Amino acid sequence: MSTETQTETIDRGIVERLRASPFLSQLLSNRLAITGIVIIVGVILLAIYARITYDLSDLMATQFGTNPSEAAPSAAYPFGTDGQARDIFPRVMYGAWYAVLYGTVTVVASTFLGVSLGIVAAYYGDLTDNVIMRTMDVLLSFPSLLLALALVTIFPEELGLWRAVGALTLVYTPRFARVVRGAALKVLEDEYTDATKALGATDPRLLIRHVLPNCLAPITVQSTLNYGLAIIDIAALSFLGFGASPGEPTWGMMLSNGVEFGLFSGAWWWSFFPGLLLALTVLGFNLLGDGMRDALDPRMRETVD
Amino acid sequence: MVSKRFVLKRLLMLFPVLFGVATVVFAILHLSPGDPAVVIAGERASQEFVNQVRADLGLDDPLWQQYVRFLGEVATFDFGQSYQVNRGAAVSQILVDRLPITIELALLGQFAGLLFGLPLGILSAVKQDTWTDHLTRIGALSGISIPIYWSGPLLILLFAQFLGLLPTSGRIGSEYFVEPVTGLILVDTLWAGNLAAFQSAVIHLLLPVVVLGIYQMALLSRMMRSSMVEVIRQDYMRTARAKGQGSKITVMKHGLRNAFIPVITVIGIQFGSLLGGAVLTETVFEINGIGTLLVDAINRSDYPVVQGTVLVFAVLYTLVNLGVDLTYSVLDPRIEQ
């Protein structure tokens, strides 16, 4: 057999495996999920572009003299200008960077914490399990935005938007812990876990190499759905006054300023555009998360086959 | 029928949860960097005075003593006095005054969500994979993606500022005064027989309820759809059709009842997001419920009010979920096992 045909077989193997993976093929045949992916990729590219192109201190400084104040959208200022004569367009673009950065940190941190706690609870069982999961239950007994509001107060004010990230991380952690504990318990019942243990695998190795990979699907869905939620909740905390500092070009802050100072004198564009981008981004994550959930649920799959 | 044992077991399970909730609230407030003594004494007060206030508040006592005292206060629904509201009003009284406002808003939002969300979800499921279904699903996903603090102000701008049809904020016109009996403005105005005031309240509540309801509608229509899709595929539905029942009758008679069961659980779980939404709605429409109370209290470091409000929100959420669990077990007795 020549090397050429060999690589060809391997390649076909990968393609076939992808095609055979009901999850991916189902996901990629879902037009709404594809739309979600396109929106998310668009927002991430926008965030990176804005971060590279614009200087944050320029965006935050007042621009009286340079720009007209409170100008309606026009060719020169596509999204208009605000009360500090700042051009709203680049500020909204930069808001994408904030949303992606702070949203990612929140989701990654709560996933990490939740997954660790969930797996440890499932593996050690008994008292460890009880202590961890009852604590999670208590945290889940609070309405999430209200717990976040209360938790924001434990962080010093200087932390700005990171206060919101910290509070929401703690709020989301129990959801991951619950999902992962359930999935991990199922994996631990399987015979290969016993086999791995019999071969002398250590606890951390067993958990990381064998249990974790088998819980990835539910973790991914939960993370994706939580991404949209994190972005909308961070903005909500900013809107309520707990998060970004006044000049910062985050969508939540722009919305809050726009509603407070611009909207009722008719300057709708201050808050309209940041809100639009925010809603679109969250929609992207919800479309993808929804598609993933459908693709994972075998009962949903039947409708397409 | 639900067994007494099950109800009793669920009621007993309330205590550890509420105990945990109180502990979390205590921990949060003690971890906050602010000093209540300074808040009460004022920024410019002398150090001796601040120390005096701190001693009076019992903040110098060992932590466990403060904790035990706190649990005792919570158990007797005594959250102390506000540092800010009305110069030391009792927190429990403030909560009693303002809680109905939030409950009324939340209930109306939930009702609006059910009224429109359930039929849309059923329609979507029955017409699965048609354009009606696609539009409803996209609409529902958009509904949960649009922040209340964006749609609310824009609707105010459109209906209140530009069209002049609806008021911008508040619960009732300032020209009306209605003696609070239940605290629910719609009930109180009717109780007083003041139809003009009732009408004013309806007009004021319309936009807040719509904004809050859109989110609930979106959530519920999604849940109703997926639940209904699953039920439609069940064997008993096919049997019913095979027996010669028209498909509409089958859906109504056999489908709905079974499809409702999971939706009811979701209503319980989503009650938390309903309360979160109510906080945001209150802020946007300047409604004086416990949502705005909490936000103001955090801003002014009014710790007793923060404590009381957060606890009340958690208790409300827990009780609603208890109610949902019990309802669920009536509808589907298998759940008890």
pLDDT of residue B299: 86
Q: What is the DSSP letter of A72?
A: P
pLDDT band for position B245 (cuts 50, 70, 90): low
Q: Contact B310/A147, CB-based, under 8 Å?
A: yes
- Taking alpha carbons only, the member of B17, B258, B306 closest to residue B122 is B258
When mean pLDDT is compared across A41-45, B239-243, B314-318, the lowest value belongs to B239-243
Distance CA B288, CA B278 (A): 11
From chain A, the residues in CB contact with B22 under 8 A are: none
Interface test with B, best of A39, A132, A145, A299 (most B CBs within 10 A): A145
Contact yes or no for A133/A181 (Cβ under 8 A): yes
Taking only the tens place, the pLDDT of each residue in B256-287 is 777 787 788 788 888 888 999 999 999 999 99
Query: Which of the residue ranges A18-32, A79-93, B205-219 has the most confident prediction, judged by mean pLDDT?
Result: B205-219
The CATH number that domain A25-55+83-300 falls under is: 1.10.3720.10
CA distance A66 to chain B (A): 29
Taking only the tens place, the pLDDT of each residue in B116-125 is 999 999 888 8
Q: Contact B276/A146, CB-based, under 8 Å?
A: yes
Region A117-124: what's the mean pLDDT?
Answer: 90
Q: Which residue of A has its CA nearest to B27?
A: A154
Q: Contact B20/A137, CB-based, under 8 Å?
A: yes
Q: What radius of gyration do chain B's Cα atoms show?
A: 24
Take residue A151 and report the two structure tokens written for it.
Answer: 């938790």
Q: What separation in angstroms does the CA of A46 have from each of A162, A286, B333?
A: 22, 19, 52
CA distance B157 to chain A (A): 7
Higher pLDDT, A120 or A85: A120
Q: How many CB pairs under 8 A join A and B?
A: 147
β-bridge partners, A81: A87
CA distance A227 to chain B (A): 12
CB-based contacts of A88, cutoff 8 Å, min separation 6: A77, A79, A80, A81, A82, A254, A269, A270, A273, A274
CA distance A200 to chain B (A): 38
Q: Contact A268/B157, CB-based, under 8 Å?
A: yes
- CATH pick for B92-335 out of 1.20.1560.10, 3.30.700.30, 1.10.3720.10, 3.20.20.80: 1.10.3720.10
Q: Contact A303/B24, CB-based, under 8 Å?
A: no
pLDDT of residue A302: 41
Distance CA B142, CA A287 (A): 9
Take residue A199 and report the two structure tokens written for it.
Answer: 């071969």
Which residue, chain included where needed, has tokens 């808040």? B39
Taking only the tens place, the pLDDT of each residue in A234-268 is 999 999 988 888 888 999 999 998 888 878 788 88
Take residue B319 and report the two structure tokens written for it.
Answer: 């009780």
pLDDT band for position A17 (cuts 50, 70, 90): low
Q: Contact A147/B279, CB-based, under 8 Å?
A: no
Query: Taking the CB of residue B9, how many other CB atoms lie within 10 A of it?
Result: 11
Using CB atoms, which residue from B128, B279, B314 is nearest to A141?
B314
pLDDT band for position A116 (cuts 50, 70, 90): very high
Contact yes or no for A27/A217 (Cβ under 8 A): no
CA distance A67 to chain B (A): 26
Q: What is the DSSP letter of A190?
A: S
- Taking alpha carbons only, the member of B145, B142, B270, B285 closest to residue B209 is B285
Higher pLDDT, B309 or B235: B309
Going B283 to B288 to B289 to B293, the CA torsion angle's sign is: positive
Q: Contact B153/A259, CB-based, under 8 Å?
A: yes
Q: Given a cut of 80, is residue A68 above it in pLDDT?
A: yes
Tell me the residue type at B138.
I
Q: Contact A236/B156, CB-based, under 8 Å?
A: no
Burial grade of A286 (CB within 10 A; 0-12, 13-18, 19 or more): buried
Higher pLDDT, B210 or A23: B210
3-state helix, strand, coil in chain A (%, to 5): 80, 0, 20
Q: How many residues does chain B have?
A: 337
Residue A145 touches partner B, C-beta closer than 8 Å: yes
Going B200 to B202 to B206 to B207, the CA torsion angle's sign is: positive
pLDDT of residue B44: 82
The average confidence (pLDDT) of chain A is 84
Q: Contact A263/B310, CB-based, under 8 Å?
A: no
Taking only the tens place, the pLDDT of each residue in A193-208 is 778 878 877 877 878 8
Interface ipTM: 0.87
Q: Contact A143/B276, CB-based, under 8 Å?
A: yes
Region A113-140: what's the mean pLDDT?
Answer: 91
First-to-last C-alpha distance (Å) of chain B = 13
From chain A, the residues in CB contact with B300 under 8 A are: none
Q: What separation in angstroms does the CA of B241 have from each of A255, A302, B237, B238, B246?
A: 53, 21, 6, 5, 6
Residue A186 touches partner B, C-beta closer than 8 Å: no
A 25-64 → B contacts, CB under 8 A: 32
Distance CA B112, CA B206 (A): 10
Contact yes or no for B188/B182 (Cβ under 8 A): yes
Region B74-100: what's the mean pLDDT?
Answer: 86
pLDDT band for position B335 (cuts 50, 70, 90): low
Q: Given a cut of 80, is residue A121 above it in pLDDT?
A: yes
pTM recorded for the entire structure: 0.87
Taking only the tens place, the pLDDT of each residue in A25-46 is 777 777 888 999 999 999 999 9
Contact yes or no for A88/A192 (Cβ under 8 A): no
Query: Within 13 Å, how many C-alpha atoms sit on residue A218's CB side?
Result: 19
pLDDT band for position A230 (cuts 50, 70, 90): very high
Taking only the tens place, the pLDDT of each residue in B147-172 is 999 999 999 888 888 888 888 788 88
pLDDT of residue B251: 64
